Amino acid sequence: MKISKTIFCLGVAILFSGCVSHHSESKNYSAPHTRSLDEMKISVKESSIPEKDFSMKKTYRGEQRILAEMTNRGKKSRLYILNGFTAGESDEDGDGFFETVMIMDDSTGEFEQYIKEKDGSVRPLESEKLLELYQKKYEADMLLQKMLDDAR
């Protein structure tokens, strides 16, 4: 199994779609039982780049993003977001079955990736492949940081 381009794109989408910035939202976190119905209202924002066959749908509960769904050339990925943690799944081959699962601690950038088989079993991604993903994520993080620094 080769390194998943979808998961790599998913990681880049995390960086560019605001997952990193939702930490500031977490600091203002209030316990669910103290929130008003208005603060719990669900809203959806959608965007797309038709010429790239790319679309993204972000779902919010109040001001906090809780779900991001991405379609890229017929392949789908989902991110589930809660107070500093992101879990995701992706359909690598476009068959409608989400065969890759990941979870990430947004504060440290540490993540784990799993492969889900059609029979329902799950196994961790091979160590070599996970290290390659960590390297690619690090390179993407550094590129993003350089772009942000250059923009200042």
Beta bridge partners of 116: 122
Cα angle, residue 12 at apex, residues 56 and 23 outer, rounded to 5°: 85
- Give the per-residue pLDDT at 5: 54
Q: Give the range among 16-20, 91-95, 102-106, 135-139 with minimum mean pLDDT.
A: 16-20
Q: For residues 102 and 146, what is the distance between their CA atoms, to the nearest angstrom?
A: 26
Q: What percent of the chain has pLDDT over 90?
A: 49
- Give the per-residue pLDDT at 4: 53
Q: For residues 6 and 126, what is the distance between their CA atoms, to the nearest angstrom?
A: 17
Q: How many CA atoms lie within 13 A of 60 on its CB side?
A: 15
For the chain, give every domain's residue range: 5-23+41-146
- Give the per-residue pLDDT at 92: 85
- Give the per-residue pLDDT at 103: 95
User: Over 80: is that where the pLDDT of 141 sits?
Assistant: yes
Neighbours of 93 (CB within 10 A): 11
Determine the distance from the C-alpha atom of residue 2 to the mean position of all C-alpha atoms in its chain, rounded to a whole number. 20
Q: 13-70: per-residue pLDDT in tens?
A: 554 444 444 444 444 555 667 788 888 899 999 999 999 899 999 999 998 999 999 9
Average confidence score pLDDT of the chain: 83
Residue with tokens 């993080």: 141
- Give the per-residue pLDDT at 3: 44
